[in-house]
Amino acid sequence: MKNLACKLILGIALISLNAAIAQTDSTAVKTTDSVEIQQKNIQKKLADLEKQRLLDSIRKVDLQQQIASLQTDDTYKRSELQQQINTLNQQEEALLLQKKLEIAALRKSTKGHPVIGFFNDTLFLIHTKLGSFSAKERAEVITTRIKRLPDNRDFSVDSLKIVEAEATFDVVYGEDSVISISQNDALWEETTTAELANVYKTKISDAVLRYQEETSIWTLLINIGLALLVLVAIWFLIKYIARFFQWTAKKIEGEENKRIKGVKIKEYTLFDAKRQVGAFLFLNKILKWITLLFAIYITLPILFGIFPWTRNFADTLFGYVLNPVKSILSSIWDYLPNLITIIVIVFVFRYVLKGVHFLKNEIAQGNLKINGFYPDWANPTYQIARVLIIAFMIVSIWRYIPGSDSPVFQGISVFLGFLFTFGSAGSLSNIIAGLVLTYMRLFTIGDRVKIGEVTGDVIEKSSLVTRVRTVKNEIISIPNSTVMNSHTINYSSDAPEKGLIIHSTVTIGYDVPWKKMHETLIEAAKRTDLVLENPEPFVLQTSLEDFYVAYQINAYVREANKQAAIYSNLHQNIQDVCNENGIEILSPHYRAARDGNTTTIPENYLPKDYKAPSFRFMNKKE
């Protein structure tokens, strides 16, 4: 029932750990308490089983004594007593099996207590209690007894003996017991009590002999000599390392403007020769100190390893380097299956991208035609597909990335996603607008367009902006979202096939016949360069005003990007042809008689001697 209660407490603690992270500490305490309770229960069971075994042993000895005291002809009584002994033997076997099971359960959660040698090394571990002594107390007492043994100068291997007691095997020195080995100790080490006693005796004797040998005067003198030799060697090593790096520094300085000529990226000088030499000298100094520290670090464990009392320091210093290296190599080895999986996934997606890229090129070049899909859609569609494929690849390999399931890694991912979402809202709208514009096919590179109030040639279409070069050679960048929200006029889309109609309005008085004006404007259009003869130019009378008629000349051209030059040439030809036909380009809105009137220019702009002119008259005689 107690075991069941312990297991129930442990299960509740584990469920609480998975259900509520905030209660981690309290759950860990409960789990630890339940494990300790379980260990105590098992230890108590082992103690009870050992008591029962001792009682059975005493009972068996008593029965054997009774058999020995019987008369030879008392067969019935002898048989009865032997039957009881056999029953006790069976019970002993059952107790032994139960002990093994309990120790196997205890082995999973119990750590042994070390018996420390003379140089802080562990000789062996104690796992079980004996009598009133716990495992920890037994280890401490045994350690103390072992460290007293070298005090006897006549110590030898034969001085230690194994004595069989009632329930234990004891390793003794003279009349003093060093360690007692119980059946539980033997079961824990999966051997017999006698064999374990021999093993412990060997370890103890070897430790004592090694201590006596390594602490002898002759050994100490040899160790001191070796230490001095190591110090001399490290002194020379440091000296020649310093000289070597002094030599390399002089060689670097000597190569200035020779081999070391600076670093240039195209026309920009990243490092001139002097700065590059300074960088190399700084790197040389860093390497010198790293080498010196590494040499000292390697020497210290060797120096500490000479003396037995400081060998633990040597192991610790080497552990600072070896343990991380072992950990790294072990992590790499454990991660190899995931790494191979990532490589395979990347390899597969790489060739998927190559296949999609091939289809994109075929569609863009016109080799592969899909109804309703234009060649200029191939590249942006490929970019969208590429992003989606790469995103799917990242999702596929995400769980194979080291630390991807850690809360810290997930928190950073969420934070970066939050920053990207809210920090690039405007950019995302422009990117989406750029994609929509691509599939709307409003214009292509080189088209003459009018976007809002901006007129010019499209020179760039990116995911964020559209750049237009105006007729005045100005580069105007228009965000794609603005293009989407504005009306767009494309002058070039149909110009090569159907022609673009250019038009200009001229106002002429009613005194000029409209037919003559039509002929004049059409002639002027035909004289204009780049104007098509077919379809022919035509004239529209757009309005009849109070003082004049508005005539609009319309002509077809194919070069939409040359509108400014065509309009200028057309206006020149209109003036020339009108002059040739005696037509004055007049729109008499305002008449002013300046003769004899004062100018309207403000007085402060006029010269001081300014006077209004007088009226002039002219008589013409017949």
Taking a C-beta distance cutoff of 8 angstroms, is the pair 90, 122 a contact?
no
Place of tokens 């030599």: 247
Say what the pLDDT of residue 10 is.
Answer: 34
User: What is the tally of helices (H) and strands (E) in the chain?
Assistant: 16, 15
- Position 339: which residue type? L
Instruction: Give the end-to-end CA distance of the chain in Å, rounded to a whole number.
Output: 151
Whole-model pTM?
A: 0.41
What's the whole-number average pLDDT of the chain? 78
Q: Which CATH number fits domain 442-490: 3.40.50.300, 3.40.50.10540, 2.30.30.60, 3.40.190.10?
A: 2.30.30.60
- Enumerate the domain spans of the chain: 2-107, 113-215, 231-306, 346-428, 442-490, 499-616
Residue 8, pLDDT > 90, answer no
Which of 554, 542, 556 minimizes the C-alpha distance to 507?
542
Q: Is 533 helix (H, G, I), strand (E, B) or coil?
A: coil
Give the separation between CA 21 and CA 423, rounded to whole angstroms.
32
Q: In the chain, what percentage of residues exceed pLDDT 90?
A: 15
Half-sphere exposure of 494 (CA within 13 A, CB side): 6
Give the separation between CA 81 and CA 148, rounded to whole angstroms.
48
Residue 7, pLDDT > 50, answer no
- Position 19: which residue type? A
Tell me: the pLDDT tens digits for 213-248? 777 778 778 888 888 898 898 899 999 999 999 999
Q: Is 148 helix (H, G, I), strand (E, B) or coil?
A: helix
Give the list of residues 6+ apart from residue 298 with CB closer than 8 angstroms, or none: none
Give the separation between CA 149 and CA 421, rounded to whole angstroms.
75
Tokens in use for 139? Answer: 């280890």
Angle at 104 between CA 102 and CA 110, to 5 degrees: 95
Instruction: With residue 181 as reference, give the H or E element that holds it.
Output: strand 176-182
| Topology agreement, domain 442-490 and domain 499-616 | no
- Rounded average pLDDT over 12-20: 35
Give the list of residues 6+ apart from residue 393 with CB closer than 8 angstroms, or none: 345, 346, 349
Q: Is 374 helix (H, G, I), strand (E, B) or coil?
A: coil
Give the separation between CA 312 and CA 499, rounded to whole angstroms.
94
Tokens in use for 80? Answer: 């009865």
- Rounded average pLDDT over 512-535: 92
Give the separation between CA 462 and CA 465, rounded to whole angstroms.
5
Tell me: the pLDDT tens digits for 429-439? 666 666 676 66
Tell me: the pLDDT tens digits for 268-293? 777 788 888 888 899 999 999 999 98
CATH number of 499-616: 3.30.70.100
